[in-house]
Structure 1
Amino acid sequence: MSGRGRRYMSKRDRACDSCRVRKAACRIDITPPCYLCTLHGKECTFVQPTSRLRQPFSEVIHPQIPQQAEVDPHSGLHEVSPVGESVHYDHLMSIYGDGAHDSVDAVPEGFQDFFEGARVSLAGGFGDSTWATGLSPGSFNYPSPGPPGTRHLGDGGPSTACLPLLMQEEGPSICLDTQDEMTPQLLGSSGDMDPLLISRYQYDTSGAFHFKNLNIQSFLLSKRSIFAASREENGCNNLSTVELKQELESLVPGDIGLRLINIFERIVASDYPVLGPPGQLNPGTSPPYLLASVYLIVEPFTKFDERLCIDLAYEKPSGAALYEIINKALPYEIHAPKLCIVQTMLLLTIRPYPNPIILDSGFKWSQLATLIACAHTLGLHLDPKSWRIPSWQISQRRCLSYLIYSTDKWLALSLGRPPLLHYDNWLVTSPSKEDYPVSGLHPSAWSNIKKRAELDSLLDRVLIQLYSPRAINAIRTDYEKTVALTGPLLQELFSWHSQIVAPSSSSSDQDRPVALERTLEMNYHYIHLSICRAILRPFQHPTVEKLNNSNYIIARAQARIQTEACISTAAEFIHELKAEDLETLWPAWSATAFSSICFQILHMATSSLDRSEADKWVTFLHQVRRDMRLKADVLPCLRLGLLRVDSIFWKGVDNVFHLEEHVRQAFMSAS
């Protein structure tokens, strides 16, 4: 080797022994020794055998279903989709690693071939840092100009002068979200304003570069006035904040507003800390549209306030009038959104449907889409942990990011839509312990939010692996693939639930779960039911060949037993609901969760294999309907499912479904 030169990153020549142990890039200009061996005074040798064979590139891109089934369900949340054809994020991240710790030898050959002529190092990088502008990690091997002594991108480490401003370690923090006259909008890495070029701006001591109507601080901070023409063209009237506050004050006087805010902080904020720690809202200083959204979501809880239960007993603030204030402001504000706009829209998305028997799915889904668009504009899809902004702003942004991600998953499940957010494109998918001190929440409330985040992650896998359009096309008729996918999901779900119920297993009825713990239990049953529905899917249209197959018959029986166990526990949950559970925020997707339970019981009855099974399910359905009818006046989220099932009986079951004779007789006997 001593007399032979080689090209950097040549796929024919492996790294030296020392670099292979370090899992670092082996840089040889002409002949050994390499750069790192020279730096550390080590002998540069090439005598150790390779530790493993390279995996063919085709196997990285096209994993098969059996391989997916063998993966430990706890080893990682987002593997390559077993039903997709694309290279997943985690495989690309195995190339980039966490900076300079992945050996070039670990890169699939196809990628080395691609980067060979581009002179781009796959092993260099920016360590654990994430650029506020969204730049991908990577080390480009060309020098950049700068003052003497500056470390360039190609010199093995990041240059402080070349990092986006919010990522620089030195200098004062930047209050990104509290500049009233300027609105921040993210400068993405693929936009027209190249972040590499922006990093060279001559920023002043305040951390900004000023133009006439714009400031650059890694974000683009714009004066609100520059959107005047666009707003005028779209018919957005500029109603002054003073006028909106006066209109809101005429509907909800300040003293009543303070009590409504207190209810919000006591009941809603502990489950959904959208606004940060208590004390952030004030009728005199907070935006009127944000206050209106708070008043709307707490309206069902006014009976729990000693004064409001009398003051509002005969005349409550008009929901339509409150919504009108929001609708006057939002079309104008979303041209240059701020965090208070995101907070307002998130509260409206979580809020239960105003008419509990109407599922306004089109509007609710469009509302979520607008919320996500505003969140992207503000950079909420990024993790601001390493940004040069105050710690309270970091926690506020992270909490909002997580709540938006969670809401997207549950609303997608409830409305039967593909999620709008993808794990690869949204960095904050759960809160961290660093966010807790700024949250202002009680430790038990924070613990419940962490538990919900674990369930959110599992739901994301369920939606991708079982309910994405590509997944349904691939496994809807294949019960073996379906079982291979659902087994690990059920195992992880049961493990989560066992940890939840274990601490309270010996508690008395006085210590029964309240608030978020109740909705957590509902979420558990909803995910369990969704998995069981996917398990039953391949058995919907049996053929003669399948019915003569013993494995198919056994699998179908097991699927129905699993679903029966799921529905039994969900029905018991409904039976145990009590009047005090009204003092809990049941979010918008609660209505479809309970409705799904009713319809699944109805499906099990109509698909019964014999008369005895049909009699059992029909009787069970009537029991659940009775429970829901007794509790629907107390818990409005039960009314949708009850109405939809009752309407089938009102029409006549045999007039709605094609029923086999033994099923028809079971319904007639029960009636």
Structure 2
Amino acid sequence: MTTVVAMQPVMPRPTPIPIAAARPRKQQRSPPGRDNLLQAKPVSSSSVTSVANIRTRRERPCDACRRRKSRCVIQEGAVLCVLCEFHKQECTFVQSPLPRKRKVVDDSKKTETSQKKSRSVDAEPPPLALPTPTITATAPSPPPVQPPSGHNSQEIPQLGETLGLQRRQHSRYIGLSSPFDSLLIGLSHFDTRNESTFDLGTLRRVNDHECFIMLPDENTQDYADEIETLKTIEQLVHPHGPALLDVYFRTVHPSFPIIQKHLFTERYRKGDRSFSPPLMAGMYILALNWWSHDPDLSRYPKPDAARLESIAMRSLSVAMDRPKLSTIQAGLLLLQRPEADSWSLTTQLVAIGQELGLHLDCSSWSIPLWERGLRKRIAWALYMQDKWSSLIHGRPSHIFGANWAVQAITDDDFKEEDDGYETTQEETDEDKAQNERGQILFAQMIRLTGIMAEVMDTFYTQVAIQDFANAGKESTRLILERAKPVQIKLKEWFSKLPASTRMDASSGNRLSSTGYLHLAYFATEITLHRRIIQSLGPSTSDPYLLYICRSAAKTRLISAMDFVNRLKPEHLQAFWYFASKINFTLIGTFGSLLWATAPTHEEAVFYKTRLREYRWTLSVSSKRAEFLDYAVQMLDASRAMLNNLAEKPSLAQQISSAGVPPPAPVPVLQRNLSVLRPESEFERQQQQSGRPGGGEVNVQEPGLLSRYESSGSFHGFGNEGFEQFGSAGSGGTLTAEGSLSGLGDH
């Protein structure tokens, strides 16, 4: 009985992707991709009988394998070879082998041979293929010749064996409560490839518990338009596509390794251009941020980034109908754009990731080893995207620990071997060191994100907010009790940072993305202390509690601002994680909160001054990092809101309520307040090692604040001269305390 998915040979094939793929290596023993499984023609019993026992010599390939130039393998006791059984076709041995040494042929045979080569996987790479294993810049040249359109999925067996990167079919995870009951699935007959075909698709079992259904791409919306979309993208960046990819892998990939670099570059080098359109567009768009920094690219007109983004977003929306790992990769890259700020796209990617099973533990799945590592890296990148988006948007996270089974990232998850390509690109010692630093940075960012997620779950969920509201006057004490274990984890994380992730670590004359990791640390600290400050108010009757909480918060703010002031060009011009734009803003928001809640006029003036300094630092730094303009604009918006702030009483009027500590602190509070002591692990290590470009952090140097007070020239943040700030504007040490000695840090 012919199933609904069977196709007769005379029927036209779906529109193929118009680029020849890389040549399969002869030593590949695994069968090619399974992408055409649902389109295969059923094999009748008579066909099996007709080819039985025809093979008389084991080394002799069948006719079909000879035409494919593929290894012909017949398993023990089998009648058909592996490929013929897979494609449901006759396995015959009637054709004679082609002569190994070809003589001079006439014109008619040459024409016939050239036609065959245009359809063969052994054809020479198209003109877009690069002559060397390294992706390098190209000079302007005529428009690229379109590669031959004929190809099928068996051309790249490396993808055919995968679960999430097959070229003509996509996978969807089958959950326990879905109509596909696990017991019924267990009754199905699975072949040696752990697949079982039925009318609705193909079941792919990855272990004893998890199963996916494989569906053909051709049944999804606008599948045929994918080829033209990819052509348009390549034409927009031509002839600089290889150079832009080189910039991407040199600048973005080391600290955000969500692409299997070796497999990608080998496919690209061998002429394969059947990549996901939104993924290619995303890589090009990010690389364009460093266009002017590349001496080979800066000489030419920059491609139209706005048009690339428009095509990328449209093609990504279409690709979501046939989700693959490349869909998640493309979405994550597009969200790293400095101007990208899409909560809805983040939530869509989380849903697609769950459909692909990225929330599961793939350690024991029957998929290639390199795909397991790639899936883990993409899964954790998606986790970070969700958690940091939750923080910067102030909205609930969509990933919960109860449904997150992904194992912790390890060094093995970054390996590029065993992808089917034996050739390896020559890397310099600097390249290897850069990649190693980036991998450590990526892993540390994952760990920090876990702590930040705990801060959000502890203080910013609706349940937590209600708990604090119900506590009334005791809300601050309740928050401090819950803050202590999280603060300890933060300090331990920072104290154990590898040397390569320190801000003063040598980058080997390369751009360093270490800044986004430390900025995320300060953002996490501020998010915790922000909740404590919000709980303080006129009803806080304990002066010591008010004093220690505000002193600790002030120390965090000063340290964060000093960190921003010490950023160097190699930091500012490097790749910054998408949340960095808001994390810079959060520092200013925290300063504005401390200003607004300051109990005295003198303390309010102190924060007003520090915020003005911070704005100046950001405005200067934005010359090298344009995304900092957003933080400057948000600072100005906060300043406008503070115009309605009532005048604060002087220190002399409110000396008792300003937070002068009693001779002996309350014993009950000591356990919870000790972790909030102003001298955090960061300040202690900075004081021990010394800071680049300045001395130790001194928050009690007198005199600076008095100069601001006496000048009487403060009228806001915008368009002011800052010569009066002395060393603060020239990269020196930011120090301030002045007449706030009564509120200082001890």
Uncovered stretches (5+) of structure 1, i.e. residues with no partner: 1-172, 232-236, 355-359
More deviation in 301-310 or 376-385?
301-310
CA pair 606-499 structure 1, distance change in 2 beyond 3 A: same
* Equivalent position amino acid for 2:564 in 1: I
CA pair 324-642 structure 1, distance change in 2 beyond 3 A: closer
| TM superposition shift of 1:293 | 0.9
CA pair 648-495 structure 1, distance change in 2 beyond 3 A: closer
Matched positions, count: 469
Corresponding residue of 1:498? 495
| TM superposition shift of 1:212 | 3.6
Q: 2:245 aligned with 1:261, yes or no?
A: yes
| TM superposition shift of 1:206 | 2.9
CA pair 514-567 structure 1, distance change in 2 beyond 3 A: farther
Aligned runs of 1:563-602 on 2, under 5 Å? 563-602=553-592
Q: Work out which of the residue numbers 272, 294, 300 in structure 2 matches 1:305.
A: 294
Larger radius of gyration: 2
Q: Distance in 2 between matches of 1:203 and 1:504?
A: 48
Q: Work out which of the residue numbers 304, 312, 316 in structure 2 matches 1:318.
A: 304
| TM superposition shift of 1:177 | 2.7
* Equivalent position amino acid for 1:242 in 2: I
Q: 2:166 aligned with 1:179, yes or no?
A: yes
CA pair 648-277 structure 1, distance change in 2 beyond 3 A: closer
Percent identical pairs in the alignment equals 22
CA pair 492-594 structure 1, distance change in 2 beyond 3 A: same
| TM superposition shift of 1:443 | 2.6
Q: Does the CA contact (< 8 Å) of 1:628 and 1:642 recur in 2?
A: yes
Q: 2:586 aligned with 1:542, yes or no?
A: no
Q: 2:323 aligned with 1:333, yes or no?
A: no
| TM superposition shift of 1:510 | 7.8
Corresponding residue of 1:616? 606
Q: Distance in 2 between matches of 1:510 and 1:379?
A: 37
CA pair 308-194 structure 1, distance change in 2 beyond 3 A: same
Q: Does the CA contact (< 8 Å) of 1:614 and 1:662 recur in 2?
A: no
CA pair 290-606 structure 1, distance change in 2 beyond 3 A: same
Q: Residues 393-435 of structure 1, C-alpha deviation per residue, up to 9 Å, x if partnerless?
A: 1111111111100111111111111211111112226412331
Q: Distance in 1 between matches of 2:173 and 2:561?
A: 47
Q: TM-score by structure 1 length?
A: 0.65
Q: Residues 260-316 of structure 1, C-alpha deviation per residue, up to 9 Å, x if partnerless?
A: 11111111111111112345153833222211111112211112322111113xxx2
Corresponding residue of 1:249? 234
* Equivalent position amino acid for 2:192 in 1: T
Q: Distance in 2 between matches of 1:278 and 1:583?
A: 26
Q: 2:609 aligned with 1:631, yes or no?
A: no
Q: Distance in 2 between matches of 1:523 and 1:320?
A: 29
Q: Does the CA contact (< 8 Å) of 2:173 and 2:212 recur in 1?
A: yes
| TM superposition shift of 1:525 | 0.7
Q: Distance in 2 between matches of 1:343 and 1:464?
A: 27
2:415 is paired with a residue of what secondary structure?
A: helix
Corresponding residue of 1:286? 275
| TM superposition shift of 1:181 | 2.3
| TM superposition shift of 1:503 | 7.2
More deviation in 275-284 or 465-474?
275-284
2:274 is paired with a residue of what secondary structure?
A: coil
Q: 2:333 aligned with 1:347, yes or no?
A: yes
CA RMSD of aligned residues (A): 2.8
More deviation in 502-511 or 289-298?
502-511
Q: Does the CA contact (< 8 Å) of 2:600 and 2:648 recur in 1?
A: no
Q: Residues 30-84 of structure 1, C-alpha deviation per residue, up to 9 Å, x if partnerless?
A: xxxxxxxxxxxxxxxxxxxxxxxxxxxxxxxxxxxxxxxxxxxxxxxxxxxxxxx
Q: Does the CA contact (< 8 Å) of 1:586 and 1:637 recur in 2?
A: no
Q: Does the CA contact (< 8 Å) of 1:244 and 1:288 recur in 2?
A: yes
Q: Distance in 2 between matches of 1:557 and 1:660?
A: 17
* Equivalent position amino acid for 2:251 in 1: I
* Equivalent position amino acid for 1:263 in 2: V
Q: Distance in 2 between matches of 1:409 and 1:214?
A: 35
Q: Distance in 1 between matches of 2:585 and 2:412?
A: 38
Aligned runs of 1:253-652 on 2, under 5 Å? 253=238, 255-281=239-265, 282=268, 284-312=273-301, 316-353=302-339, 360=341, 364-428=342-406, 430-438=408-416, 442-475=435-468, 477=472, 478-500=475-497, 515-539=512-536, 541-543=537-539, 546-547=540-541, 552-649=542-639, 651=640
Q: Residues 370-405 of structure 1, C-alpha deviation per residue, up to 9 Å, x if partnerless?
A: 111111111111111101111011111111111100
Q: Distance in 1 between matches of 2:502 and 2:370?
A: 37
Q: Distance in 2 between matches of 1:506 and 1:642?
A: 23
| TM superposition shift of 1:602 | 1.7
Corresponding residue of 1:188? 175
Q: Distance in 1 between matches of 2:439 and 2:638?
A: 42
Q: Distance in 2 between matches of 1:493 and 1:322?
A: 40
* Equivalent position amino acid for 2:286 in 1: I
Uncovered stretches (5+) of structure 2, i.e. residues with no partner: 1-159, 205-210, 418-431, 652-707, 716-746
| TM superposition shift of 1:351 | 2.4
Q: Distance in 2 between matches of 1:463 and 1:521?
A: 18
